[in-house]
Structure 1
């Protein structure tokens, strides 16, 4: 009986405490009676407070007692009011006068610039101290976001568009709202763990979203600050160690707040079109710390994407006598895209700081956020009691409307109707995107790949059909099971192949997957990657370039993947295959180029147009294993699964492949090992980001292997290319394949518009400039290809260098390739989203 009695006592005590909580609310306006949006309101000598909404209204709950309530907003006089809360709600309206930041006599004669530089220099001197002053802390963070459409082209505002976006007849309204409540934990230098307690969204996110506490962690004591989604480069803090190379500072004036002298400094970029802010910062003199910031970025000045202007406001409050931390952070933005004008904001409020949380060992284990299973199930009453910023009338009305629509749209009848509509077959859609049929109740889907990827042509099979179907079944625990049958028939070769694959994702939290596939298929001799069926069809028919070389296999393969510990992923695979050489059977083309002929299906044929034997029919039993380690791997745990965040550090992968001889008649006998070090996006501060991949490998034993067992490289032949790091722009698909030692290196840097943004007119295109280099070197000894007498050409080094420009998925590169010291090829390569 003790446990039930204790529980009852706890509930009774909780209700008693709640019964003694009363609401303090009011409206904050300026001297002209205009609302002071997002003004800070907090209790002096505590870390408990709130922020006014867009209309200037604020509210929060207090137990009975006497409080000194501080009202604060940058540019307005700070006010402190004493109020006593007894046994009922209290209303306290407030007028904040514009703050007269006055210049003193000694700085009123033209030396405001020198005074501003002097003050900022002192803050910069203490920057690192304040950056490391608080080693760890925890707090409660409320994040709110709103995106509104303020104007839209009338010719595009059809009834269906307005209904979809839930806008009024003038094309205006709230597009998206989000709120979240989290406990945020931090430890220097950059360890984070967030526990999201509640989350609410309504509408469609059409711009960018910062809906968790870690999205709005702005620290201007750091040298640079990245704004994800708006720019590929970082922005220089006005207090950075090298800030005075980028900014001029002008002392606007001084004011006294709560006995402290606050200096208002205007931040002025020294040069246009650099990654810098403009606006004002506020500094506590004597302590030389940040009191607040009011900075902005514009598309003209900073070349940002998506929005025209982004304003960042942040206010600091004292946590104790020596420690100050942010009480609020506000991102306020507006923009215009093709005549659609929008505005919005993202606001973070920090409460209940604990600067001595004493996190246990192992607390920061890579899990950067965990979303409570009931986070999105909190009802309106919960939000009314826990939301620190009151809703505006428009926001409340929008929530009610969207909640009602959501309730209707989640009835079984509506979902079944929507499901039926989406499952309708459209020939045009199937041609380009494929066809998908989804059963909501059974949580299963059926997907047929696009017709453009089903019909193909190559010189080995002729015209053919490669029909692939995907069936996926999902389960409540996040597990899933899929079946993928594939049928392939080449009409000229009269060759039919069929195989089927199975994949069982049985533990998403550890990336545990069991898969198998068996049957027959036609495969590329280069398993690293060449061209898709579609591109090979076009290059063959239009230009008589039959780049890919194929062979037939009857095979069976079983694979297993499992995360051994956070950051360490194991992949294993065992396969058995009978491999058969194929030859050209078809020579169709659209334009007859008399000076050109199709090449043989043997990539080493000499002369290249005459078929010859590359390898005899053989059997191969092969075992593979790889270990991939991600340094400080970070992940988010949501109710629907585990999701991995992009790594801040490079990854390492160790690969091993064994050709097993004599078992089940296997003819292969070799051992291959390689090591990869790679990073897809490595931020380089103000100058953009880089990507690189370095691979070194060798055959430890090569007693018996065939051309498809060689190590192949991700080459490219043709005008289009794949921009994935690790690929080449000009490298022939098969010419450099090797059974010897090799090393390849790839490096690419994206300057994120650092140079092109400084060129008039070109700046408006918001292009990103890139440079890169690809390198390959091999052992110079060669070994005959098994049982054929053919020799793979001896190759030394190969190098490519290129420059390019990019915008979204469109990219154009110009490069030069060198085979040893000889220039092999130069030209333009393009990418437009299709690989």
Structure 2
């Protein structure tokens, strides 16, 4: 085994030496690091710029050449480099070079008015042309796209490398890649590639993608977290005024309103292939703004972007993000059409803080574009057909295919991943990342996970301290069958509760999934209004560890359920549920769900048998979907959600006690408002036809915990409002620093402000009031008065988010007030507060 690893690493070394990797630092004569120094291979566009610490690192296909180092106010240097060149310490001397035809400025201490800034003239020309250039200018286009996603551990020292490779350390250290700083090391743990052909028709505004081949290797496939992090790098369109990233709106450096966010500095100009290029740098005016810093090269006369490099400023304080870098390269055809040739998106993620000395996780997404064919139309029916990936191995290709398609260093990376993915310490690190993101812990080779860990402990008045152990089968994210369940125990009622659910993907195309479940558990039916595909109850009202007041309003639910789900498209699903539920009070001496079998009856029935069917349709245009198995995960990109559900109850079927119809509609739309932030809007409504007890009515969702829960009311008690017809709305506007970043001293705290407003209105029919009137608990006390918010009830407030330290800034604190209303005189309920402080947790990504 040792001989195999040594041979593998020797072979990897030979392949790595086939290209030149240059790294080093640039300082002035006083040993001060120089940021934004231009470093290029002479006669090419291959190169980079130094970072804030004067460091640089890049690769070139050439194995020798002349390195040119230039910076305004300093003498340009040239250095010959070969494969023997390891690390460069470059000292630039001050000079008096003056560029002709271009007025060059450094970043001023006092801002220049934009008309006095020489970069303004160039930006104006870019703005005029930016909507006219690109493949959108032609009627039809085709191109080939090669997408690579690589994930690795960065900033590793020699001690860490030695702990992994042990006896093979001396040989391995020669083969492992350097990190971007040229000092520490980097180990890849996952690599995927996809080759596609893209066909576009601008006349009909349709685009078709045909995947040709896919390949993946490594540890990232064990969970959804790496997919979600990789999708952080969507197709960043820098020509739009605002760029959506992590559900936040960043101002583009090419925005027509860019001078309100950026300082622009025209540094110099060069001649490349007989074309004059201007080099413009940009810096955020306020370091805490959601903005970038970097530079771009602009071609003279046609003012097209040749190359752009930008990175998110650290002051933006994105959770778990130490750095995000974006690089784009374009080719210009006929002096009017620019086409992308390469995009490189790179993210550096850390858990605790942004300290450059800490180990982190690198995710790099590289997209190469080639074989452009413009203005060659295909039949309209060709663009209408959209091929879909339906199986994990659908686009498998042989090794012979990839020998021709892979970029020059991917084979090396695959072999290195094969060597390290079985290392125990590497597996522990990736397992920890998956656990933090999903809440589940892998159990050895059993293909079993325990979790989620945040539901392990809870407390309520009925069960006392509640412990819960959940599990699910999990081999890969593309599992066709999945079994999940839980066992819970209450130390006060001394009873076990449990649930089990099995899911199976019947068909990949069309995508059809079926599931069946059984549970016997305690639920808080007054904490949610809407549920379609979740068969096992999982309401937060019975799983909170800390709550205000008393919560005896719990129901004991025994439920059998099955689901049939049909995906017409990733973003359009229809489904059908059948369920049989027996509902009783979990604390009959305090809380009753009894009802009169008929209005006017003297006797009450203490349990409800609900036999019902649900038909639903879910439409989520623009949503990203991860995984091809029976369970899928969804991206956190900004997309609308529309859900319609129709429910019918059957009396007499399998002892069903009630015949009724219920229709519910829910609409959610996050709205990006540019630099002003994001408005998250939810509106829902419903109506129940027929006479039903309180267990089957629509309870306005209350929240008696001290944490914030979406689409609930924090200053209501459970069952304060019960309706058979309702409408509600929840509005949250997140300013993303737009206000606080403009206040001196306060902006150093990196806080972000938000406003909230929630409202509900509903009614109860006379027939339903009569059915539930006079219901008492076993002590003979009428503890529930079935009020409805027939006068609009609302809550409003403001808050601060991005609270924490370093990269752990996921806390949010809200101050909330409510409108006046007459709270029900429930014997066991505590008065509802008129004002409260609540805490929310939002991990990010």
Q: Provide TM-score, normalisation by structure 1.
A: 0.69
Partners of 1:350 and 1:75 lie apart in 2 by 31
Partners of 1:457 and 1:249 lie apart in 2 by 58
The yes-or-no answer on 1:567 pairing with 2:571 is: yes
Show CA shifts across 1:261-288 (max 9, x none). Answer: 3333344555554334444333223222
Gap change, CA 1:133 and 1:458, over 3 Å in 2: same
The yes-or-no answer on 1:223 pairing with 2:218 is: no
After superposition, residues 227-376 of structure 1 pair within 5 angstroms as 227-228=245-246, 232-267=247-282, 269-270=284-285, 273-300=288-315, 302-303=316-317, 306=320, 312-320=326-334, 322-331=336-345, 337-338=354-355, 340-341=357-358, 347-356=366-375, 358=377, 361=381, 363=383, 373=393
Consecutive unaligned residues in structure 2, runs of 5 or more: 1-17, 27-36, 47-55, 73-82, 86-94, 106-111, 530-538, 596-601, 776-784, 803-808, 824-831
CA shift at 1:668, angstroms? 1.4
The yes-or-no answer on 1:776 pairing with 2:776 is: no
Partners of 1:309 and 1:488 lie apart in 2 by 44
CA shift at 1:661, angstroms? 2.8
Partners of 1:667 and 1:348 lie apart in 2 by 60
Gap change, CA 1:59 and 1:287, over 3 Å in 2: same
Gap change, CA 1:146 and 1:764, over 3 Å in 2: farther
Aligned to 2:101: 104
Aligned partner (choices 717, 731, 753) of residue 747 of structure 1? 731
Partners of 2:637 and 2:228 lie apart in 1 by 19
Gap change, CA 1:520 and 1:758, over 3 Å in 2: same
Larger radius of gyration: 1
After superposition, residues 3-82 of structure 1 pair within 5 angstroms as 56-58=59-61
Indicate conservation of the 8 Å contact 2:478/2:627, yes or no: no
CA shift at 1:746, angstroms? 0.7
Partners of 1:560 and 1:149 lie apart in 2 by 44
Q: Secondary structure at the match of 1:220?
A: coil
Q: Secondary structure at the match of 2:61?
A: strand
Q: Secondary structure at the match of 2:124?
A: helix
Indicate conservation of the 8 Å contact 2:511/2:568, yes or no: no
After superposition, residues 78-93 of structure 1 pair within 5 angstroms as none
Let me know the Cα RMSD of the aligned residues. 5.6
Indicate conservation of the 8 Å contact 1:101/1:255, yes or no: no
After superposition, residues 752-767 of structure 1 pair within 5 angstroms as 752-758=736-742, 763=747, 766-767=750-751
CA shift at 1:801, angstroms? 1.1
**Larger RCO (CA under 8 A, 6+ residues apart):** 2
Aligned to 2:186: 174
After superposition, residues 376-395 of structure 1 pair within 5 angstroms as 385-390=404-409
Indicate conservation of the 8 Å contact 2:574/2:615, yes or no: yes
Aligned to 2:835: 826
Aligned to 1:728: 713
Aligned to 1:515: 515
Q: Secondary structure at the match of 2:566?
A: strand
CA shift at 1:718, angstroms? 3.4
The yes-or-no answer on 1:550 pairing with 2:567 is: no
CA shift at 1:709, angstroms? 0.6
Partners of 1:475 and 1:280 lie apart in 2 by 41
CA shift at 1:734, angstroms? 0.6
Aligned to 1:445: 448
Aligned partner (choices 189, 192, 213) of residue 197 of structure 1? 213
The yes-or-no answer on 1:786 pairing with 2:771 is: yes
Indicate conservation of the 8 Å contact 1:195/1:372, yes or no: no
Indicate conservation of the 8 Å contact 2:232/2:245, yes or no: no
Aligned to 1:686: 675
Indicate conservation of the 8 Å contact 1:705/1:785, yes or no: no
Q: Secondary structure at the match of 2:544?
A: helix
Q: Secondary structure at the match of 1:340?
A: coil
Aligned partner (choices 116, 124, 128) of residue 127 of structure 2? 124
Indicate conservation of the 8 Å contact 2:440/2:449, yes or no: no
After superposition, residues 381-780 of structure 1 pair within 5 angstroms as 385-390=404-409, 401-406=416-421, 437=443, 439-440=445-446, 445=448, 447=450, 453=456, 458-459=461-462, 470=471, 472=473, 478-482=479-483, 484=485, 501-507=501-507, 512-518=512-518, 520-526=520-526, 528=528, 531-535=540-544, 539=547, 545-581=549-585, 583=587, 600-602=590-592, 616-632=606-622, 634-635=624-625, 644-646=634-636, 648-679=638-669, 681-699=670-688, 701-702=689-690, 704-722=691-709, 724=710, 726-739=711-724, 741-758=725-742, 763=747, 766-779=750-763
Gap change, CA 1:373 and 1:247, over 3 Å in 2: same
Gap change, CA 1:602 and 1:507, over 3 Å in 2: same
Partners of 1:399 and 1:107 lie apart in 2 by 46
Aligned to 2:827: none
Using the TM superposition, name which of 320-329 and 163-172 deviates more.
Answer: 163-172
Partners of 1:771 and 1:824 lie apart in 2 by 20
CA shift at 1:579, angstroms? 3.8
Partners of 1:271 and 1:469 lie apart in 2 by 46
Partners of 1:236 and 1:180 lie apart in 2 by 30
Gap change, CA 1:271 and 1:789, over 3 Å in 2: closer
Partners of 2:439 and 2:238 lie apart in 1 by 45
Using the TM superposition, name which of 162-171 and 330-339 deviates more.
Answer: 162-171
Gap change, CA 1:58 and 1:265, over 3 Å in 2: same
Show CA shifts across 1:660-710 (max 9, x none). Answer: 23444433132221211113x4433333333221112122x22x3111011
Aligned partner (choices 792, 799, 804) of residue 804 of structure 1? 799
Partners of 2:283 and 2:450 lie apart in 1 by 56
Show CA shifts across 1:499-543 (max 9, x none). Answer: 65444343466553333345755443426286454536x55xxx7
Partners of 1:469 and 1:276 lie apart in 2 by 42
Indicate conservation of the 8 Å contact 2:489/2:497, yes or no: yes
CA shift at 1:778, angstroms? 1.4
Gap change, CA 1:520 and 1:219, over 3 Å in 2: closer
Partners of 2:656 and 2:149 lie apart in 1 by 63
Partners of 1:738 and 1:38 lie apart in 2 by 72
Consecutive unaligned residues in structure 1, runs of 5 or more: 1-24, 44-52, 61-68, 77-90, 423-428, 586-599, 606-611
How many aligned positions are there? Answer: 710
Indicate conservation of the 8 Å contact 1:717/1:732, yes or no: yes
Partners of 2:348 and 2:440 lie apart in 1 by 37
Partners of 1:485 and 1:311 lie apart in 2 by 42
Aligned to 2:5: none
Q: Secondary structure at the match of 2:760?
A: strand
Show CA shifts across 1:66-114 (max 9, x none). Answer: xxx9x999999xxxxxxxxxxxxxx9x9xxxx9x993328999x99945
Indicate conservation of the 8 Å contact 2:553/2:718, yes or no: no
Partners of 1:648 and 1:56 lie apart in 2 by 35
Gap change, CA 1:824 and 1:756, over 3 Å in 2: same
Indicate conservation of the 8 Å contact 2:541/2:703, yes or no: no
Q: Secondary structure at the match of 2:718?
A: coil
Indicate conservation of the 8 Å contact 1:485/1:499, yes or no: yes
Indicate conservation of the 8 Å contact 1:370/1:637, yes or no: no
Q: Secondary structure at the match of 1:570?
A: strand
